Amino acid sequence: MTTPKIWHIEEVRNAKSLNEENTDFDLEIKHPDFGWIPYTLNPDDPDGSISNEELLSMMGSNYAQYVPPTSEEIITRQTAAVRFQRDMLLKMHVDPIVSNNLRWNDMTDSQRTEWTDYRTALLDITDQSGFPQNVTWPTVPEGYGLR
C-alpha cells in the first residue's frame, strides 16, 4: 500500500464562504503541478492530500462572506435536481425496456401500457402543481427486466 502524496499549497485566492458557520469554502489554490485550480474546502473531506488546516490558516479572515441563496436560486436548484432525478429514472428504468425490441415485444399489452404510462408520468413531473418542491413520483411497473 502506497502512501498518498501530500501537496503543499503556498497560495490561495478568491475564497468564498459557503455556509453561515464559515466552515466550507470555495477558493482557488496554487497547486505546485497544476497552477491555479478551483478547490472546495470541506472539513469532512477524508482526502488528506491537501491540508485544509493550512489552507484555513492562509485564508485567515480574507474571504467573501456567505450570502444565502435567493428564493429564485433555490427554485432553480430544486428544478435542476428533480429533472436530473427524473432523467436518471428514465435512463435506468425506462430506456432499457422500451429501447429493447425483444423485451418490448415479449411483453403483454397490459405491461406495455404500464411502461408507457410510467414513462409519460415521469416526463410530466414538471407539470405537477407542486413542482419542484412537492413532486409525486410515479411507481415503477412491477419487475419486468429490472434487477
* 33, pLDDT greater than 60: yes
Q: Say if 143 falls within a structural domain.
A: no
Q: Say if 134 falls within a structural domain.
A: no
Domain that holds residue 75: 71-127
The region that residue 90 occupies, defined by phi over 0 for left and psi between -120 and 50 for alpha, beta otherwise, is alpha
Shared domain for 51 and 80, answered yes or no, is no
pTM of the model: 0.66
Q: Say if 78 falls within a structural domain.
A: yes
Q: Say if 108 falls within a structural domain.
A: yes
The predicted structure's pLDDT at residue 6: 85
Q: Say if 2 falls within a structural domain.
A: no
Number of domains composing the chain: 2
Shared domain for 77 and 112, answered yes or no, is yes
H runs (alpha helix) in the chain: 52-59, 71-89, 95-98, 101-106, 109-123
Q: Say if 25 falls within a structural domain.
A: yes
Average pLDDT rounded to a whole number, residues 55-66: 94
Shared domain for 87 and 111, answered yes or no, is yes
Shared domain for 80 and 43, answered yes or no, is no
* 147, pLDDT greater than 70: no
Per-residue DSSP letter, 44:
T
pLDDT tens column, 98-143:
899 998 999 999 999 999 999 999 999 999 999 999 999 999 998 6
Average pLDDT rounded to a whole number, residues 30-40: 95
Cell 474571504 -> residue: 63
